[in-house]
């Protein structure tokens, strides 16, 4: 990968988190000696804890290796090429994305194997991927198909774009009431037949499914889905000519890692199993904590759901203390995920205090968000003042990253050592 | 304003909506002859309808003039300097923002009067504003205070930053259970006394309130709040030395324009009334439609709530049609507001069709959003195909703009005539 363009990008105080005066680049920010706890940054700011990211990267790489899985972490979570590079450095097989635009980000910064875990539709979208494939013989792109109509649409636009070589396609197996994907063996057969009609545009590379749409309590459904998917895939694979290398078999999501661990290792040898977790890189204070508890309740431990740690912290300031019970904080919907539970207050650090003097905010709760304000209930016995720094954990990483074009990477002392850039 | 830096910004297909190959600038995009309905853009894309924006800008300017209001449209809605320029061109008195970072965006592109409708807190945040005031004698910045502690915090950091001249401050009057703002006359008096202790850092410029926190059905509460605010402000103003020009009196929000129209014109002469609507610039298909209905139910018409039109359209593609009843569209939480109602399907245009051939999607509903997918129910009698283009209206403009770094501005034929850039 070539991240030189990122290292030289110039940011100033028009970007959230970055202070005046002047400008700064990711490549030179460490020389500024900015420290979050010195109030050197604009608040609110969301920071990535470098050592925790490193822990998560290595932990997940180890988990995938132990299970015999190839790993194509979902890049849509972070849309951060600097993280893609670190993911690839510890052994990722490729990077997963969700759209043509996201694929273009991966291409621009030099990712050589991209899994578009989505149906690729639209003339311009398909043309962009065709151009990228034509420009770099070393680039490998897979995408998903789930209907005869979709196959014809994709092949037609690739032909129209003058694609020089085929895109690899995975057949998606879905489930009634879930999202995309064929709903039956027969439908799968028809899509496979349609793919074969466009050998100059489409190269069948394997099978795909997505179990992450299931809710926390639907583990049994996930098992049923994966078992059915494997049975159907085995049936369809037997009807196809044997490939030179085994077909891919890919599933996604971080939520049901325990079921991936339980069911998928049996596929080894028959398929190249590719998993696509994205949120593991930062973990969270909500969804995934619940999934770990669920996994432990099934009698499984770290071997089934790797011991990840929380790497994202959203820092804001107390701007007003009202009615004795509520602190208004300087962040809102623009800064924090709000598609599930709201951010979790972790601790408060008064100006001049170091992290060791942080006071935990147990019992505090973000009760409501406006666009630019958070309403935090103040726990009994805690006194808050204007200017106090409050750190919150976030619940859904995918909708945290997309609110921050620049995310300071900090060391354990909260010194800013890099600026991670996102491309949403 | 100087928007040259924006006109020369270079975008490529790593930005949502922009197709390959090559790059494009806002200043040169019109020469590309891209048309949304030719599938020239990556989907999803959110577009601004130029003629509708123009209608809203003029309609609101006229409404403010008719009521005797100064207008400082809330820039946080769009964070788009190109729209700030158009707002100022039709007579806006200044631009409102919500944070130091947003103020820096306005400063960078040459806005000369900025109302930070928020408590300004934090060392770096306050320092940035002090530096901007020091660098440009023609810059006027107002911000809000609502506590003695906040006043001391602000004045202390301005002093520490070596501020060359005072920032203007507005006293905020709040309401028990709402958000920020003093809760009593006596508290207001104390804050005013605290302001007077820091004449080198703070210059009192008037009074402020925010009624937009009220819910749709709370019109009576808004009236009560505004009446109380005016009574208290009159009391406090009489206790102060008479200013050379009348104090400011500012309230905000687009929701209760009818109450602003009903109550605030009586202040003419006593105060300079500044209103701060932000969402008027695009209007929406939800919140504000309901407020217009509420206004009409009160027996009031266009004189009370100006006749705005919907200027934002979110375009996506059908990527999969499942279970006969659901179309999966290529947009999700990353692309659309989801803090209230989900986007409203407006019409479908098949590839090759023009806007005149669009088919209305009455009865269709976005039932659910994932990060990158929308689940749209298909109305009876409508047949949808992979690649069909679906236009949706959006509900909350503030959380629509923040998901799009680049928004194509289109003419009535959907030709792209500019790229509007946002700075979130």
User: B151: nearest CA in chain A?
Assistant: A386
CA distance B388 to chain A (A): 9
pLDDT at A130: 98
Across the interface, whether the CB atoms of B386 and A104 are under 8 A apart is answered no
Answer whether B276's CB lies under 8 Å from B254's CB: no
Beta carbons within 8 Å of B53's beta carbon, 6+ residues apart: B83, B86, B281, B282, B311, B409
All residues of chain A having their beta carbon less than 8 Å from the beta carbon of residue B176 are 323
CA distance A99 to chain B (A): 8
CA distance A421 to chain B (A): 13
All residues of chain A having their beta carbon less than 8 Å from the beta carbon of residue B39 are 122-124
Answer whether B166's CB lies under 8 Å from B202's CB: yes
Q: What is the DSSP letter of A246?
A: P
Across the interface, whether the CB atoms of B372 and A339 are under 8 A apart is answered no
All residues of chain B having their beta carbon less than 8 Å from the beta carbon of residue A372 are 76, 98-99, 118
User: Pairing between strand A389-393 and A312-322?
Assistant: antiparallel
Answer whether B344's CB lies under 8 Å from B286's CB: yes
In DSSP terms, A49 is beta-bridged to A410
pLDDT at A324: 78
Neighbours of A68 (CB within 10 A): 14
Size of interface A-B (CB pairs under 8 A): 224
ipTM above 0.90 for this complex: yes
C-alpha span between B173 and B183 (Å, rounded): 7
In terms of C-beta distances under 8 Å and separation of at least 24 residues, what long-range contacts does A229-237 make, across chains too?
A229/A173, A230/A263, A230/A267, A232/A173, A232/A185, A232/A188, A233/A173, A233/A207, A233/A271, A234/A270, A235/A185, A236/A171, A236/A185, A236/A188, A236/A189, A236/A192, A236/A207, A237/A207, A237/A270, A237/A271
pLDDT at B19: 98
Nearest Cβ partner of A122 from B14, B180, B317? Answer: B317
Across the interface, whether the CB atoms of A125 and B42 are under 8 A apart is answered yes
User: B172: nearest CA in chain A?
Assistant: A320
Residue-wise pLDDT for A166-190, tens only, equals 999 999 999 999 999 999 999 999 9
pLDDT at B192: 98
Nearest Cβ partner of B402 from A21, A323, A334? Answer: A334
pLDDT at A323: 78
b/e per residue A234-259 (b: at least 16 CB within 10 A): eebbeeeeeeeebbbbbbbbbbbbbb
Asked whether the predicted pLDDT for residue A125 surpasses 90, the reply is yes
Answer whether A121's CB lies under 8 Å from B387's CB: yes
Task: Provide Rg for chain B, Cα atoms.
Answer: 23
Low-confidence residues of chain B: pLDDT under 70: none
Beta carbons within 8 Å of A380's beta carbon, 6+ residues apart: A363
Answer whether B56's CB lies under 8 Å from B280's CB: yes
Rounded to 5 degrees, φ, ψ at B257 are -55, -35
Beta carbons within 8 Å of A245's beta carbon, 6+ residues apart: A272
User: B368: nearest CA in chain A?
Assistant: A179
pLDDT at B198: 98
All residues of chain A having their beta carbon less than 8 Å from the beta carbon of residue B20 are 104, 124, 127-128, 131-132
User: B178: nearest CA in chain A?
Assistant: A322
A381: left (phi over 0), alpha (psi -120 to 50) or beta: left
pLDDT at B322: 87
Among A264, A355, A348, residue whose Cα is nearest residue A35: A355
C-alpha span between B328 and B320 (Å, rounded): 5
In DSSP terms, A271 is beta-bridged to A268
Nearest Cβ partner of A105 from B14, B105, B372? Answer: B14
Across the interface, whether the CB atoms of A119 and B320 are under 8 A apart is answered yes
C-alpha span between A289 and A308 (Å, rounded): 9
Q: Average per-residue pLDDT in chain A?
A: 97
Across the interface, whether the CB atoms of A405 and B386 are under 8 A apart is answered no
CA distance A385 to chain B (A): 8
All residues of chain B having their beta carbon less than 8 Å from the beta carbon of residue A395 are none
Across the interface, whether the CB atoms of B179 and A328 are under 8 A apart is answered yes
pLDDT at A365: 98
Asked whether the predicted pLDDT for residue A278 surpasses 90, the reply is yes
User: A386: nearest CA in chain B?
Assistant: B150
- Token pair belonging to B71: 């207008």
Neighbours of B181 (CB within 10 A): 27
CA distance A73 to chain B (A): 16
pLDDT at A314: 98
Among B223, B230, B224, residue whose Cα is nearest residue B249: B230
Nearest Cβ partner of B128 from A19, A386, A405? Answer: A19
Across the interface, whether the CB atoms of B42 and A124 are under 8 A apart is answered yes
All residues of chain B having their beta carbon less than 8 Å from the beta carbon of residue A147 are 320-321, 386
């Amino acid at each position: 990968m070539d991240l030189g363009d990122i290292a030289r990008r110039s940011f100033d105080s028009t970007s959230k988190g970055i202070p005046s005066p002047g400008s700064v680049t990711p490549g030179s920010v460490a020389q500024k000696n900015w420290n979050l706890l010195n109030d050197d940054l604009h608040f609110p700011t969301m920071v990535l804890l470098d050592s925790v990211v490193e822990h998560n990267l290595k932990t997940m790489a180890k988990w995938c290796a132990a299970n015999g899985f190839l790993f194509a972490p979902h890049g849509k979570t972070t849309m951060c090429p600097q993280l893609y590079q670190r993911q690839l450095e510890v052994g990722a097989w490729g990077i997963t994305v969700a759209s043509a635009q996201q694929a273009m980000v991966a291409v621009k910064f030099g990712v050589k194997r991209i899994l578009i875990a989505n149906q690729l539709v639209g003339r311009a979208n398909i043309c962009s991927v065709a151009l990228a494939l034509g420009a770099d013989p070393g680039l490998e792109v897979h995408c998903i198909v789930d209907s005869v109509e979709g196959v014809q649409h994709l092949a037609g636009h690739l032909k129209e774009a003058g694609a020089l070589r085929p895109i690899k396609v995975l057949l998606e197996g879905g489930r009634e009431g879930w999202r995309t994907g064929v709903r039956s063996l027969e439908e799968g057969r028809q899509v496979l037949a349609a793919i074969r009609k466009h050998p100059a545009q489409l190269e069948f590379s394997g099978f795909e499914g997505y179990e992450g749409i299931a809710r926390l309590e639907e583990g049994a459904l996930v098992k049923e889905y994966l078992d059915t998917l494997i049975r159907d895939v085995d049936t369809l694979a037997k009807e196809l000519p044997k490939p030179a290398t085994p077909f891919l078999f890919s599933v996604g999501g971080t939520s049901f890692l325990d079921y991936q661990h339980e069911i998928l290792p049996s596929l080894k040898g028959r398929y190249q199993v590719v998993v696509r977790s994205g949120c593991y890189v930062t973990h969270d204070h909500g969804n995934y904590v619940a999934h770990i508890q669920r996994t432990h309740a099934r009698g499984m431990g770290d071997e089934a759901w790797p011991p990840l740690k929380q790497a994202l912290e959203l820092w804001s300031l107390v701007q007003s203390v009202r009615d004795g019970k509520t602190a208004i904080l300087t962040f809102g919907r623009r800064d924090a995920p709000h598609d599930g539970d709201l951010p979790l207050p972790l601790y408060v650090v008064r100006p001049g205090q170091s992290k060791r003097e942080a006071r935990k905010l147990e019992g505090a709760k973000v009760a409501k968000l406006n666009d630019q304000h958070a309403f935090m209930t103040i726990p009994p016995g805690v006194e808050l003042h204007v200017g106090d720094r409050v750190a919150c954990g976030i619940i859904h990483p995918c909708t945290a990253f997309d609110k921050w074009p620049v995310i300071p990477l900090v060391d354990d002392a909260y010194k800013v050592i890099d600026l991670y850039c996102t491309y949403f």
